[in-house]
Chain A
Amino acid sequence: MADRRLEAPGRFTGFSPLNFALLVGLGAVVLASMGKVAPSPQQLADGVPGMVNLVGRMLPPNTEPAFLARIGLRILETFQIALVGAAIGIVLSLPIAWCAARGVSPLGRGNVVVKAFVSFLRTVPDLVWALIFVASIGLGAVAGTMTIMVDTIGFCGRFFAEAMEDAEKEPQEALSAIGAGRGSILVGAILPDIMPSLINSSLFALEKAVRSSVVLGLVGAGGIGQELKVAFDLFQYRNASMIILAIFAIVLLMELCTDKLRARIQ
């Protein structure tokens, strides 16, 4: 007779009836939603000729020198919006993250209020911020810069605060033991320890800012997006394809640069 102790355990020992019911429920929700909003095979088949027609009208991309010069200036403006917005956002994120970080914050338990504020900034999508700033400041690049700034604070505020919470505790205790105040502990022990993480998050924020800044023009907040919207509105599809290629180039270039910088830091 076989020894029962040597028998392999059941295959689904960690799978409770409750887990099974939840999984079935989730599957049902996905299937029901697909019936409402997912494209049907018929719709996909009908859309193909339209797509082929649109791509045909986009080719070849417009390479007229005057148009390229105008696009170049818009690309530069887009990059400036991303760079300035991200730079201001990163600088402002540091004190905000300090106030939000648990166990480090000079506000003590008041840190949850700052954390909630940062969550709010992050939760509202960047296009909504752009609409708010266009309505309050007016059309143009300044609204775009403000949008990127707020978006960056929402992103960096969270990651900077988490890095500060995870910083090595021993050097902080050592400085505290010799009478250093909270500000001194921040600059003396916490910031040097988390510097690679800060730079990494900042580079991601810059990458994100470049990607965001290209679409902000769709709602009038400056940059290359504004040209893209005009091109589609006026059915200038060859212009639109050139703008899409330019956007692809600037985002790719930024990702290559930040990847290289990140590799150097590590």
Chain B
Amino acid sequence: MLDLVTDRPCATEPSLAQTGPLIAARGLCKSYDRRRMILDGVDLEIAAGERVALIGSNGSGKSTLLKSLIGLHPISGGTLHCFGDPVDARGSRKQRLAMRRQTGFVFQKHCLVRRRTVLSNVIHGLFGDAGSWRAFSHALAPPEWRDRAMQALAEVDLADKALERADALSGGQQQRVAIARALVRRPRLLIADEPAASLDPVSGRNVMELFTQLCRDHGITLLYTSHDMAHAVDYADRIVALKGGRVLFDRPAAQVTRADLKDTFDG
């Protein structure tokens, strides 16, 4: 398997000040209307290299938490540190963008640009780097970026589809392209919001195996949400359950019991 991270030094090596947890949230709160709290005092710490599954029923705050962690949704209260730097509404836009550039994000609906080629979509993962306008299309990208994108596509076994339009691929293939796009920048943290939810059971399992394998190979920290308990138990080191915007439990995957899961999903 081609190696994404060893051919070049990672552009985002942790600084000396960043030796603590990758993510540290204390009493995190989020409300969209100042009345109903979607996140209500969430404490969460994730160390480098961990694989953490976030579970909970619909409306428990999983997606909001993921988006708040990278500043897509500004937090309403509490403290949040990502890669050692504080993330809050007062932080500069430049700071938030710099933090996001160390993160890969995979959505439930792969969110590819339908009309572009698979290769161009993967190169889009390099937007934000210096001279990033060249990430607009694979035709404009520097040779080094094209090589990195092709390596990422080879990692997800889609190198032969590089010049096909994104919307010509199946749902499972599109999700693998989204994974390649998230990995092409060699992030320190990969966040995935129900990455297998829109796929059939076999494709979903394949995507989860690919995810965890690539993260293990490259030492990338993985945080993902799932409604499928098998995906949470089989692929995570740790499971964090959310209920009503609060952490219900946070323990190693091997120690999670049926009773825990029942508590999580019972009304």
Instruction: Answer whether A179 and B113 are a contact pair too, CB < 8 Å, given A184-B135, A188-B135.
Output: no
- Indicate if the CB atoms of A180 and B128 lie closer than 8 Å: yes
A175: B residues at CB distance < 8 A: 124, 127
Q: Is B132 an interface residue (CB 8 A)?
A: yes
Would you give the shortest CB distance from A195 to chain B, in whole angstroms? 7
- Indicate if the CB atoms of A193 and B132 lie closer than 8 Å: no
Q: Is A209 an interface residue (CB 8 A)?
A: no
Interchain CB contact (< 8 A) of B72 among A176, A184, A189: A176
Q: Is A177 an interface residue (CB 8 A)?
A: yes
Task: Please measure, in the bound complex, the distance between the C-alpha atom of A188 and the C-alpha atom of B112, giving whole angstroms.
Answer: 10
Would you give the shortest CB distance from A220 to chain B, in whole angstroms? 43
Task: Please measure, in the bound complex, the distance between the C-alpha atom of A192 and the C-alpha atom of B113, giving whole angstroms.
Answer: 7
- Indicate if the CB atoms of B105 and A178 lie closer than 8 Å: yes
Task: Please measure, in the bound complex, the distance between the C-alpha atom of A193 and the C-alpha atom of B98, giving whole angstroms.
Answer: 26
Instruction: Answer whether A170 and B133 are a contact pair too, CB < 8 Å, given A176-B72, A177-B70.
Output: no
- Indicate if the CB atoms of B112 and A171 lie closer than 8 Å: yes
Would you give the shortest CB distance from B238 to chain A, in whole angstroms? 23
Please tell me the size bucket of the interface on B: 20 to 34
Instruction: Answer whether A178 and B113 are a contact pair too, CB < 8 Å, given A173-B72, A173-B107, A184-B127.
Output: no
* A194 nearest in chain B by CB position: B115
* A187 nearest in chain B by CB position: B136
Q: Is A181 an interface residue (CB 8 A)?
A: yes
Instruction: Answer whether A193 and B136 are a contact pair too, CB < 8 Å, given A173-B107, A176-B72, A188-B124.
Output: no
Residues 154 to 203 of chain A near chain B (Cβ within 8 Å): 168, 170-171, 173-181, 183-185, 187-189, 192-193, 195
- Indicate if the CB atoms of A193 and B115 lie closer than 8 Å: yes
Q: Interface readout for B80-114 with A: 1 if CB under 8 Å, 0 if not? A: 00000000000000000111110111010101111
- Indicate if the CB atoms of B100 and A178 lie closer than 8 Å: yes
- Indicate if the CB atoms of B115 and A188 lie closer than 8 Å: no
Q: Is B125 an interface residue (CB 8 A)?
A: yes
- Indicate if the CB atoms of B115 and A179 lie closer than 8 Å: no
B109: A residues at CB distance < 8 A: 170
B133: A residues at CB distance < 8 A: 183-184, 187
Q: Is the contact region of chain B dominated by helix, strand, or loop, or is it mixed? A: mixed
Would you give the shortest CB distance from A159 to chain B, in whole angstroms? 19
Q: Is the contact region of chain A dominated by helix, strand, or loop, or is it mixed? A: helix
Interchain CB contact (< 8 A) of B105 among A168, A174, A187, A195: A174
A188: B residues at CB distance < 8 A: 113, 124, 127, 135-136
B182: A residues at CB distance < 8 A: 178
Residues 121 to 150 of chain B near chain A (Cβ within 8 Å): 124-125, 127-128, 132-133, 135-136
- Indicate if the CB atoms of B132 and A174 lie closer than 8 Å: no
* B102 nearest in chain A by CB position: A179
A189: B residues at CB distance < 8 A: 113, 124
Q: Is B176 an interface residue (CB 8 A)?
A: no
Would you give the shortest CB distance from A179 to chain B, in whole angstroms? 4
Task: Please measure, in the bound complex, the distance between the C-alpha atom of A193 and the C-alpha atom of B113, giving whole angstroms.
Answer: 7
Instruction: Answer whether A178 and B115 are a contact pair too, CB < 8 Å, given A183-B133, A184-B133, A188-B135.
Output: no
- Indicate if the CB atoms of B127 and A180 lie closer than 8 Å: yes
A174: B residues at CB distance < 8 A: 105, 107, 111-112, 178, 181
Would you give the shortest CB distance from A93 to chain B, in whole angstroms? 19
Task: Please measure, in the bound complex, the distance between the C-alpha atom of A183 and the C-alpha atom of B101, giving whole angstroms.
Answer: 16
Interchain CB contact (< 8 A) of B127 among A170, A173, A179, A193: A179
Task: Please measure, in the bound complex, the distance between the C-alpha atom of A134 and the C-alpha atom of B127, giving whole angstroms.
Answer: 46
Task: Please measure, in the bound complex, the distance between the C-alpha atom of A122 and the C-alpha atom of B101, giving whole angstroms.
Answer: 41
B205: A residues at CB distance < 8 A: none
- Indicate if the CB atoms of A179 and B111 lie closer than 8 Å: no
* A168 nearest in chain B by CB position: B114
Q: Is B227 an interface residue (CB 8 A)?
A: no
Task: Please measure, in the bound complex, the distance between the C-alpha atom of A185 and the C-alpha atom of B132, giving whole angstroms.
Answer: 11
* B98 nearest in chain A by CB position: A179
* B94 nearest in chain A by CB position: A181
B113: A residues at CB distance < 8 A: 171, 188-189, 192-193
Instruction: Answer whether A192 and B105 are a contact pair too, CB < 8 Å, given A173-B111, A178-B182, A183-B133.
Output: no
Instruction: List 3 A-B pairs, minimum CB-CB distance, nearest first.
Output: A179-B100, A179-B101, A174-B111
5 extra A-B contacts, CB within 8 A, seeds A171-B112, A184-B133, A192-B115: A174-B111, A175-B127, A177-B107, A181-B127, A189-B113
